[in-house]
Amino acid sequence: MQFCQVIVDIAHSQVDKVFEYSCPDDLAVGSRVKVPFGGRVVEGFVIGVSGAPSFDASKIKPVKYVYDEQPALVPECFSLMRGIAERYRVPKAVALRLFLPSEMRLGRVNEVFTKYIKLIDPDISLNKAAKKQSAALEALREGDREFTPFCEQFGRAAVNAIVEKGGAEVYKVRRTRAPLSGEEEEFHPVELTPAQQRALEYIEQSPKTVQLIHGVTGSGKTEIYLSYIAEVLKRGKTAIFLVPEISLTPQMLRQLRRRFKGRAAIMHSGLSAGERFDEWWRLRSGEAKIAIGARSAIFAPLENLGAIIIDEEHDSSYQSETAPRYSTIEIARMRAEYNGCKLILGSATPSVESYICATEGQYGLVELPDRINKKPLPHIIIADMREEVKRGNASAFSRALREELAQTLSQGNQAIIFLNRRGYAKTVICQDCGYVAKCENCDVSLTYHSEENCLKCHYCGAKYHMLSACPQCGGVHLRYGGTGTQRVVSDLRELFPKARILRMDNDTVSGKDGHYKILSSFGRREADILVGTQMIAKGHDFPSVTLVGILDADMSLHFADYRSGERTFQLITQVAGRSGRADEKGKVVLQTYSPENYILRYAVNYDYKGFFENEVKIRKATGFPPYSLICRVMVTAEEDRAALEVLKEVYFAIDALKQSDEDEFIFFNKMHSPIKKIQGKVRYQVLMRLKSGKLLPCIYDIAVRSSTADALAYVEENPANLS
Ligand code: ADP
Ligand code: ZN
């Protein structure tokens, strides 16, 4: 008998301890078990075993049940568990859950097994009358048989009888459901360009753990990632490759399957629960060596990691918005350091934060300023929508975009029309002069709240009267947000009655599968124009697309967010990158009410460095991240009273913290959250802007301590959305 240390699978800080049980000698670390706990039986994770108990052995209860499988948790989990629990102040069980497919816990998915039967002893004594039994036994001499058809052939009773007598044995083999095609296709390696080779050599010899590849769209970053992964596999190691929206990029999936075949496990939201679970096991068992997927694939059960790659590293989907609210890059860094391997971040538009790290020398930096074969980046034409309004054009399309569309269609090419729906209908914009209402204290745009008919600043809570006329030009053509996809499609039908149009947005398509179908159909050229929102901006490679129209480029510019400029620059660059990827030159028409805006000017010239230097200056001057930290403690509850009690508790605790360190706080207040109620829960917040992160652990502790059974308090760092 030995003893094991167990973390029980209960997400509560009061039981966030290690408990000891006695267990069989062969129990391995990482196994899942069932243990008696407080009068119940609960699931738990074995995080250690020892020969001797740490206290009175007579008081130690035995483990009730051991799951008969390879230990689910890889050894690295325990180090990461401590890192995550410490950093994000969550119970260790919550940290461990990240490493298991949800289907596995709580036994929600039936694993699919195939049963076989094999011969053990051909000479067992059988009743002479039992002809079927002896025939069955005889048949097994030829080799193992699948159980179900075998029973059909010889009869269930006969088969059971020979098993009972010890003549044969039934065993199970896990059956895996292999999703997605692409494996049949042959892979033809390309020769790397000198720039790609230099990039790989640089990364290889650099002593820095984190490497940033800043390369324009189409510069061959993907090829660099895949070559690096191939090299890592050759050395007998494993890799994790993260992309923001793999289920939306059919070409990427096919490419990966073609190149890595069964060695790649692809974890994406389009898989069924069973498929996800099977892919997970293929990684855990060592059959698959590369985990490919969105954010959560960073927790892939791989040992001996040789590389972690995060493509489109600036993408906001890498920030988890549910507990624990982790940053994927932070977790990836922990794993890279644990394994002594490289973390490669790549983007055409790195986040300001990452690029600062690269220019200041914390990260290695690879620059790829040219497209493969020096193909030019698409030319971006700016259409001034104020002029269109003056000319009496009330449609969603400028003259320039109409003309370019007509030309693209007549040449038999495809076009993408991109609508910016984020922050939609919330910003007030003057159509005559491009004026946008901003907060006097914070220099971010205000958000319209219809229920109170007022404008609010999400950073300081200030309220302003709704405008009836533009304070800048006196004009009365005030518009709330942009045009909807439906309207755009009907305008297009009128302008180009013969064009085949596909529409893709969250309102019209149900499930990721629907998106995938629309994109594949567009990829097969079954339509001429694709109209869509944010989700069509990412990484697609449609060779016949030679025109991209961006409607309402301004809308994200005037987001009530300090990252508005950054988001707009990223979005325009990403969307523009969809045009002219193959032989023909691409064009982009960008429609705006503020053509003089500096962000648009940098974007039009693909001037990332210019944008970056300017942005850094602004962030420094205004004290926004990364030169400060925006921290919000949210309090949500069903009942107003319960929420207010917790809010008070949080507020006074942080206020006490502030008394002892006045200097750290640039801003501090408690208030209603800009949206007071979501899904029936009231929302309050304590909002702060801090000089550094040094008080964060205390603030996390305050949130944990103050939460009650009726009201939850949690911390958000630099939240992407302050509503
Ligand atoms: P990025 O990821 O930077 O947008 P990709 O890796 O997708 O760029 O490359 C852009 C295009 O160039 C793709 O069509 C790809 O197949 C092609 N490509 C990449 N590397 C090479 C190479 N070494 N030789 C020829 N074509 C290449
Ligand atoms: Zn403000």
What pLDDT, on the 0 to 100 scale, is given for residue 517?
A: 81
CA–centroid distance, 226 to ligand 1, in Å, is: 11
pLDDT digits (tens, 9 = 90+) for 268-289: 766 777 788 888 989 999 999 9
Question: How many CB atoms are closer than 10 A to CB 440?
Answer: 10
Which pLDDT band, with edges at 50, 70 and 90, does 629 fall under? very high
The pLDDT tens digits of the residues spanning 170-219 come to 887 766 555 455 566 788 889 999 999 999 999 999 999 999 999 998 89
Interior angle at CA 430, CA 491 and CA 603, nearest 5: 75
Question: What are the CA-CA distances from residue 183 to residues 118, 245, 256, 265 (Å)?
Answer: 32, 21, 9, 12
The answer to whether residue 418 scores a pLDDT higher than 50 is yes
SS3 47: strand
543 contacts: CB under 8 Å, gap ≥ 6: 581, 582, 583
Top mutation candidate among 223, 228, 370 for ligand 1, by most atoms within 8 Å of CB: 223
In sequence order, the 6+-apart residues with CB closer than 8 A to the CB of 14 are none
Better pLDDT: 429 or 193: 193
The distance from CA 191 to its chain's CA centroid, rounded to whole angstroms, is 31
Q: What is the DSSP letter of 62?
A: B
Write down the mean pLDDT value for the chain.
Answer: 87
* Residue 491 clears pLDDT 90, i.e. is over it: no
Contact 529, 563 (CB under 8 A): no
pLDDT band at 424 (very low <50, low <70, confident <90, very high): very low
* Cβ–Cβ under 8 Å, residues 628 and 687: no
With beta carbons less than 8 A apart as the criterion, state whether 5 and 19 touch: yes
Ligand nearest the Cα atom of residue 722: 2
What are the residues whose beta carbons fall under 8 Å from the beta carbon of 168, sequence distance 6 or more?
117, 118, 119, 120, 136, 137, 140, 159, 162
What band does 328 get if pLDDT is binned at 50, 70 and 90? very high
Atom nearest to 543 CA in ligand 1: 14
pLDDT of residue 423: 42
- In this structure, of 244-253, 297-306, 685-694, 697-706, the range with the lowest mean pLDDT score is 244-253
Going from the Cα of 459 to the center of ligand 2, the distance in angstroms, rounded, reads 5
pTM check: above 0.85: no
The SS3 assignment for 298 reads: helix
Mean pLDDT of 133-139: 88
211: Cα within 13 Å, side-chain hemisphere:
26
Q: State which amino acid sits at residue 112.
A: V
CA distance 80 to 636: 29
Which residue is closest in CA terms to ligand 1's atom 20? 220
Question: What digits encode the pLDDT tens for the residues 444-462?
Answer: 778 777 667 788 877 777 8
Task: Please give the pLDDT value at position 368.
Answer: 97
User: Which ligand 1 atom is at minimum distance from the Cα of 582?
Assistant: 14
The residue whose CB lies within 8 Å of the most ligand 1 atoms, and thus the one to mutate among 192, 347, 372, 575, is 372
Under the banding of pLDDT at 50, 70 and 90, the label for residue 43 is very high
